[in-house]
A and B are shown apart, each in its own frame.
Chain A
């Protein structure tokens, strides 16, 4: 039998009933993200998990180069900022000297799957006991919408102004599937955060990843297929629809390795 929890409007506005609180570990500052961007939700989920697991004093995060370069401003835990693509190597350094700490990287698709491919693959191949949060928005958001390794065939960007031509520019890289084949990888999954239901699922995946780290299982990588409304030149609503119809067709959601 299906049960749906029905909350009446009266209950919501009833004094003292808290429906949602600002995530404790997110700082009180304005996010630098464009309104409608998925990065903010992804940040919040990681911080919620760290908070709920009570591991904030033992967690060290690594921010990439990309729109989330300022993640260290937003997350109220110890953070390092790595050179473009090098976050998994930096995280390796941290984890090797602090094996009892929780270490995660937060990276975009350009960072993780172009300039940092080698670092990504080798950290995974060593089975570094870290969590990799990989936000795939199919574009270089930060630098103004250039083609990323994950840009879809025919998709326009400022360096593929007539659409991505796979013959000369290659195919969108399914790097999560690639690293899932490596024995060092304990968990590889693809999630999204553009609907409430998917947000809940993504959070579960992040919990599982940090739990894996606790249990010393090896690398966990969570790809979050996200939007870049600015880079895609769409409104936030259009971009979520486009994501649903196009990105998810190429990058299907679900666990790739459990």
Chain B
């Protein structure tokens, strides 16, 4: 199995760390992983994206122009990445702040109100974990126990007390995700 994912949004939304936690979870189940970020001044308040690949085999290119899943968290990223989802792939997005919704018919499209759910959890930083839950509900590529280990590995120990809250956010994401279009 190989899952090629792009996660794209604004700097500060936790895009890079969402990718990192996914990658760590993959390692916990003995997979090969790669995490390729955009870097540079464009990240200062601008867009940030990361390509994450989890695979049972050796990973070839860490840089891709087609993805199994696109997780889209702002309009610029929607404009850029909608067309790069493989036919039959998944586009998951937070409709908050999106004015041009995806039009593709040959992919699965799902929404998650990440910003809203995070503020209901009284912690905006859980935003990316809500998104992760939504994704894992549709593509359960990593087991929850490995996500737990992934969180332990990727968060510094002083933030470990936040793990239960993060896991709660993942659950919320799993419950609240909505598939709004399916190609089948």
Chain B residues, CB < 8 A from A34: 44
Q: In this assembly, does B140 line the interface, its C-beta being within 8 Å of a C-beta of chain A?
A: no
Q: Quick one: CB contact mask for A213-254 with B, threshold 8 Å, 1 for yes?
A: 000000000000000001000000000000000000000000
- Cβ proximity bits A22-44 to B, threshold 8 Å, 1 near / 0 not: 00000000001010000000000
Least Cβ distance of B50 to chain A in Å?
A: 17
Interface residue? B157 (CB, 8 A): no
Chain A residues with Cβ under 8 A from B44's Cβ?
34, 230
Give A34 to B46 CA distance when docked, in angstroms.
Answer: 12
What's the Cα separation between A32 and B40 when bound, in Å?
A: 13
CB distance from A14 to the nearest CB of B (A): 37
CA distance A32 to B44 in the complex (A): 10
Please give the number of chain A residues whose Cβ is less than 8 angstroms from any Cβ of chain B in the complex: 3
Number of residue pairs A-B, CB distance < 8 angstroms? 3
Taking chain A's interface residues, is the majority helix, strand, or loop, or is none over half, making it mixed? Answer: loop
Whole-angstrom distance between the Cβ of A151 and the nearest chain B Cβ: 21
A230 to B44, CA, bound (A): 9
Distance in angstroms from B32 CB to nearest chain A CB is: 29
Contacts of A32 in B (CB 8 A): 41
B45 nearest CB neighbor, chain A only: A34
**Min CB distance, A36 to chain B, in Å?**
12
Instruction: Give min CB distance, A5 to chain B, whole Å.
Output: 38
Distance to closest chain B CB from A172 (angstroms): 26
B154 CB to closest chain A CB (Å) equals 19
Task: Determine how close the nearest CB of chain B comes to the CB of A100; give it in whole angstroms.
Answer: 37
Complex-state Cα separation, A32 to B41, whole angstroms: 9
Q: Within the assembled complex, what's the spacing in Å between the Cα atoms of A34 and B41?
A: 11
Inter-chain CA distance A230–B45, complex, in Å, is 11
Whole-angstrom distance between the Cβ of B97 and the nearest chain A Cβ: 20
Restricting to B40-89, which residues have a CB under 8 Å from any CB of A?
41, 44
Instruction: Determine the distance from Cα of A230 to Cα of B11 in the docked complex, in whole angstroms.
Output: 14
Smallest CB gap from A33: residue in B: B44
Which chain A residues (26-66) contact chain B, with CB distance < 8 Å? 32, 34
A75 vs B174: C-alpha distance when bound (angstroms):
52
A34's nearest neighbour on chain B, judged by CB, is B44
Residue of A nearest to B41 (CB): A32
Which residues of the other chain, A, contact B41 by a CB distance below 8 angstroms? 32
Interface residues of A in 41-95 (CB under 8 A from B): none
Write the nearest CB–CB distance from A206 to chain B, whole angstroms.
28
- The docked-state distance in angstroms from the alpha carbon of A230 to that of B41 is 12
Give the Cβ gap from A145 to chain B, nearest Cβ, in Å.
12
B residues near A230, Cβ cutoff 8 Å: 44
Within the complex, what minimum Cβ distance (angstroms) separates B107 from chain A?
Answer: 36
Give bound CA distance, A34 to B44, whole Å: 8
Distance between Cα atoms of A34 and B11 in the complex (Å): 14
Q: How far is the CB of B119 from chain A (nearest CB, A)?
A: 22
Give residues 20-44 of B contacting A (CB, 8 Å).
41, 44
B113-162 contacts to A, CB under 8 A, are none
Closest A-chain residue to B39, C-beta based? Answer: A144
Distance to closest chain A CB from B33 (angstroms): 25
Nearest CB in chain A: distance from B10 CB, A? 15
In the complex, what distance in Å separates the CA atom of A90 from the CA atom of B44?
30
**How far in angstroms is the closest Cβ of chain B from A54?**
35
User: What's the nearest-Cβ distance from chain B to residue A4, in Å?
Assistant: 39
Q: How far is the CA of A26 from the CA of B44 in the complex (A)?
A: 23
Q: Would you mind naming 3 contact pairs between A and B with Cβ atoms under 8 Å apart?
A: A32-B41, A34-B44, A230-B44
Name A residues whose Cβ lies closer than 8 Å to a Cβ of B: 32, 34, 230
Closest 3 CB pairs of A and B: A34-B44, A230-B44, A32-B41
